[in-house]
Structure 1
Amino acid sequence: MSHQTGIRANEQLAKVFGKAKNGKFRVIKVSIENEQLSCGATAESKKDWERDYDKLIGPLLEKDVPCYILYRLDTKIPLGYSWLLISWTPDTASIRQKMVYASTKATLKTEFGSAYITEELHATTLDESTLEGYRRHKQEFAAPAPLTTREEELKELRKTEVHTEINTNTRHQTLGGINCPLSEQTVAAIQDLVRGNHDYLQFRIDLEEEQIHVSHAAKVELADLPKQVPEDHARYHLFLFRHTHEGDYLESYVFVYSMPGYSCSVRERMMYSSCKAPFLEELAALGVEVVKKLEIDSGSELTEAFLQDELHPKKILHRPAFAKPKGPPNRGAKRLTRPTDED
């Protein structure tokens, strides 16, 4: 979910946007001043867009102050020229500045004209804002999503696996989860969460009643989240993670299943494991869109870096090829079978 701040473009910036549509400017710097989007600077084109890029953009960026950069490319679209939007949010900027700029970006695009903006770049270091950084960004954006180690292993195994025929007589044995009912207080707490009264809920399963109860509901800062995880009992947790990613302000529901190892009874481990999937379905029915499901052993794992990596995994352009392990020595020659006509 993304939210906007209500900040709008002032009259001067609106006039600059109008002139920019006919190709008058190569670059426009936009800053937030006095709760308004203001024009910080403009520059006209000198040469082609690649040779203008570093010469015009570099001097406009301040080390600790966020801003937006609208940069005109030479590509033509039906409406006119296409534009690149750069969200400059340095790591050294304050959290408030980062949130304000991330929340206002959608408004800026609307004021300028979203149809004109064909590409976006989020930069936190000066290196990322250069032409070379822009080219790296395009290369990463075009790369396929990375496979986990497990997925790579499965991919290699599928190349050599034997396929068996599956028909109407095939039987599969499955085991569904246990659907534990929610108490009235639990339903009410989830509804309050959706309305914005809470951003953290903790749930426990009453093993005798086999019912899910809310054990804690509050507004919890991310830094205090690890303290909410018990060290002696399993729990479900629902947390509204407010953060920025590539210049966008996001609010994402994260579901956490905490199980502190073998300090819990076998029955407790079985119940929490079996009730998780039906409980997630109940949350969805009550209007909670869970973006990420996590399982942890300890609350110390719940850091901002961990949640960012889980929600927005980095693309790896050059992953080493999967090395298939060697077979045992002296196992003899492989058996070769000749296919029959029936095959």
Structure 2
Amino acid sequence: MSHQTGIKANDQLNKFFLKCKDGHVRVFKVAIEEEQLVLKEHKNEKHNWEKDFDKYVIPLIEENQPCYILYRLDSKNSLGYEWLFISWSPDTSPTRQKMLYASTKATLKQEFGNSLIKEELHGTVLPEVTLEGYKKHKKNVAAPAPLSSREEELQELKRTEINTDISINTKQQTLGGVSFPMLESAQDAIKDMARGSYDYIQLRIDIPEETIHLVTAENISLEKLPSKVPLDTARYHLYKFKHTHEGDYMENIVFIYSMPGYNCTVKERMLYSSCKNPLTEAISNLGLEIVKKIEIDVGSELTEQFLYEELHPTNTLYRPKFAKPKGPPGRGPKRMTKNH
């Protein structure tokens, strides 16, 4: 996975990572300063994690300044204590700051240790990062996930009492297309993209298994986007297009279906085309809003102007009437002819 910012932990923070996992440190705050991840503050435990939570976390929050907070829980896994990763990105902070912290989060998680992070909490207003806000978040995550279109179809079949031998893992063919299940890694990447962790995701269909797999999830610039499109196979892409429109800064998720013409087999072309609509519905159900769906043949089509015009097409409000060209000068008056 590549990282757009290239920002990494400084030496002091790396040494603290080793020390803080001994069970004494309860919480610490990390910020970005001078293009480095730096340790701002830390506190040792006093009580259990619930009693310490608001007392320690709330004072670390600055109203207009993003930061990362790692809070140690009392539970353990095979590698040690488990941690809650809090990403604080207030709406009132500058857009550039929010983008910088969002694109550096994956680096911090990796350098600290992904396996030690039990849960993540993203906050834009203070109530979201209190103990009560964390408990609400856990309750929402534990709630049954929205049914996918494939699962809704199954329920509809049961309601209408149609005898059919079909299971939750079976592909289904409807008027809207064929729905293949997504692997958990693909679902997790889409959820992370919705939280701001990634700018780009690529998905593929495993044709023999009839499942949808994650190819890559990363942060890339628009200039590198065309190079991600294969020349010999179809793919699905999700890209966060960052741009300004009429003076407003915008970040829009674009779903791109790339099909390199007849370099693919007939079966591959049919499956990718049929799976497209059910897949975009499933992506929306995972919390990622798709603003525009685009189909391309080759990656070179993905220019900034092309994406902008797809998202903000020009409406022609006035179309001039066709003007009949004038005849040659000096032709004289029209002649009248009689019908015999």
What amino acid sits opposite 1:50 in the alignment? E
What TM-score does the superposition give when structure 1 sets the normalisation length?
A: 0.51
d(CA) in 1 for partners of 2:131 and 2:56? Answer: 11
What TM-score does the superposition give when structure 2 sets the normalisation length?
A: 0.51
d(CA) in 1 for partners of 2:160 and 2:271? Answer: 36
d(CA) in 2 for partners of 1:147 and 1:157? Answer: 14
Which residue of structure 1 aligns with residue 289 of structure 2? 309
Change (3 A) 1:149 1:126: same
d(CA) in 2 for partners of 1:22 and 1:135? Answer: 26
Change (3 A) 1:197 1:111: closer
What amino acid sits opposite 1:145 in the alignment? A
Preserved CA contact (<8 Å) 1:12 1:38: yes
Give the deviation of 1:290 after TM superposition.
10
SS in 2 for 1:21: helix
Give the deviation of 1:4 after TM superposition.
3.6
Give the deviation of 1:112 after TM superposition.
1.3
Preserved CA contact (<8 Å) 1:255 1:292: no
Which residue of structure 2 aligns with residue 37 of structure 1? 37
What amino acid sits opposite 1:134 in the alignment? Y
After TM superposition, list the pairs within 5 Å mapping 1:1-343 onto structure 2: 3-147=3-147, 155=155, 158-163=158-163, 196-197=222-223, 222-224=243-245, 253-255=254-256, 281=272, 293=280, 309-310=289-290
Give the deviation of 1:45 after TM superposition.
0.6
Give the deviation of 1:198 after TM superposition.
8.4
The superposition leaves residues 66-103 of structure 1 with CA deviations (integer Å, 9 ceiling, x where unpaired) of 00001011112222211111001111112211111111
d(CA) in 1 for partners of 2:85 and 2:136? Answer: 16
d(CA) in 2 for partners of 1:222 and 1:199? Answer: 15
Change (3 A) 1:291 1:21: farther
Give the deviation of 1:197 after TM superposition.
4.0
Task: Say which is worse superposed, 146-155 or 121-130, in terms of deviation.
Answer: 146-155
Which residue of structure 2 aligns with residue 298 of structure 1? none
d(CA) in 2 for partners of 1:69 and 1:195? Answer: 27
Give the deviation of 1:117 after TM superposition.
1.3
The superposition leaves residues 205-264 of structure 1 with CA deviations (integer Å, 9 ceiling, x where unpaired) of xxxxxxxxxxxxxxx865549xxxxxxxxxxxxxxx956xxxxxxxx54249xxxxxxxx
d(CA) in 1 for partners of 2:221 and 2:111? Answer: 29
d(CA) in 2 for partners of 1:43 and 1:66? Answer: 19
Change (3 A) 1:195 1:14: closer
Change (3 A) 1:255 1:114: closer
RMSD: 4.4
What amino acid sits opposite 1:309 in the alignment? E
Percent identity over the alignment is 51
The superposition leaves residues 124-183 of structure 1 with CA deviations (integer Å, 9 ceiling, x where unpaired) of 1111101111111112112222248997687356224242799xxxxxxx99x9xxxxxx
Preserved CA contact (<8 Å) 1:90 1:125: yes
Change (3 A) 1:13 1:290: farther
Preserved CA contact (<8 Å) 1:26 1:43: yes
Preserved CA contact (<8 Å) 1:254 1:291: no
Which residue of structure 2 aligns with residue 184 of structure 1? none
d(CA) in 2 for partners of 1:109 and 1:68? Answer: 10
What amino acid sits opposite 1:79 in the alignment? L
Preserved CA contact (<8 Å) 1:254 1:290: no
d(CA) in 2 for partners of 1:70 and 1:221? Answer: 29
Q: Displaced runs of 4+ in structure 1, greater than 3 A?
A: 1-4, 147-154, 194-200, 220-225, 277-282, 289-294, 307-311
SS in 2 for 1:144: coil
Give the deviation of 1:12 after TM superposition.
1.7
SS in 2 for 1:26: strand
d(CA) in 2 for partners of 1:77 and 1:157? Answer: 42
Change (3 A) 1:290 1:115: farther
The superposition leaves residues 173-207 of structure 1 with CA deviations (integer Å, 9 ceiling, x where unpaired) of x99x9xxxxxxxxxxxxxxxx9944879xxxxxxx
Which residue of structure 1 aligns with residue 234 of structure 2? none
Preserved CA contact (<8 Å) 1:83 1:118: yes
Paired residues in the alignment total 211
Change (3 A) 1:292 1:29: same
